[in-house]
Amino acid sequence: MRKQTTSPAGTQSIRRALEMMRVLAEHNNKGLNLKELMEITGLGRSTAHRLISCLVDEGFAMRESLTKRYHIGLEALQIGLSAVSETSVTDSLRPLIMRLARISGDTVFLVIRQGDYALCLAREHGDFPVRIFTINEGEKRLLGVGAGGLALLASLPKKTMEKIHQRHKAEMEKAGLSLTTLERKVREYKNKGYSETESTITPGISGVGYAFRPSRITHVAVSFGAIDSRLTSKRRKELGELMKFECNHWVKNMHQ
């Protein structure tokens, strides 16, 4: 059950409708029935039914006729594509990766999850003379490949990670990621709080990655890339802790 937020007079219904939209977005793959919507939002039956019916009428939600489960509607999807585009996410987070590049001196990447893939949104170079070009802006890689993609995959539920690996088993194993190896890397991510890669994409290049959510439905990761000799075990730990601090600090300030 979600914690209910105290709202000024006249805004409570708006907040409830927006919360319902967020809940639908989080569960859009399988959808939710009315009872599940009530349980997650903490709303009574009549209120939940009134809100979801209004969202359906306006095209911001849709109801499957056979299963009676609700999903995000076309109007909401269109707004999402227009307002929360890759460009706006990049613009919002670019100051963060510029700061990380300036502090570290290394190359910093920003990637966002798109289904089973990680899309590179931005790349910033620090002042270290050897610059890393393992992925270009606008290029996609399978989740798990590269430090940022590995961080994204490792932060997903175990069943989701296993299904992604199953769907792309051949490509995963070609990249050296058997299910056993991937499970080990996921455990390491959860223990350390950051991912580590060594010569997985480009020989001689290592990486450190950290995944976080600027919003409940936006899943991104930042990562450092550098030559192996620069990214020693000690420095990987330093950069991992730096990423965690700076990203969490950025999210905290964004919501204040």
Query: What CATH number labels 12-82?
Result: 1.10.10.10
**Which uninterrupted H or E stretch holds 189?**
helix 179-192
> How far apart (Å, rounded) are the C-alpha atoms in residues 221 and 111?
5
Q: Which residues contact 54 (CB under 8 A, 6 or more apart)?
A: 17
Contacts of 213 (CB under 8 A, 6+ apart): 219, 220, 251
pLDDT in tens, 150-184: 999 999 989 999 999 999 999 999 989 999 999 99
* Alpha-carbon span 32 to 38, nearest angstrom: 10
Q: Which residues of the chain have pLDDT under 50?
A: 3, 5, 9, 84
Gap between the terminal Cα atoms of the chain? 23
pLDDT of residue 191: 95
Phi, psi (deg, nearest 5) at residue 43: -85, 150
Q: How far is CA 212 from CA 67, 137, 152, 197, 231, in A?
A: 33, 19, 8, 18, 22
What is the structure's pLDDT at 142?
Answer: 93
**So where are the chain's domains?**
12-82, 84-254
Note whether 61 and 71 are within 8 A (CB): yes
Classify domain 84-254 at the CATH superfamily level: GAF domain (3.30.450.40)
Return the pLDDT at 131. Answer: 85
Question: What pLDDT is recorded for position 86?
Answer: 57
pLDDT in tens, 114-128: 888 999 999 999 999
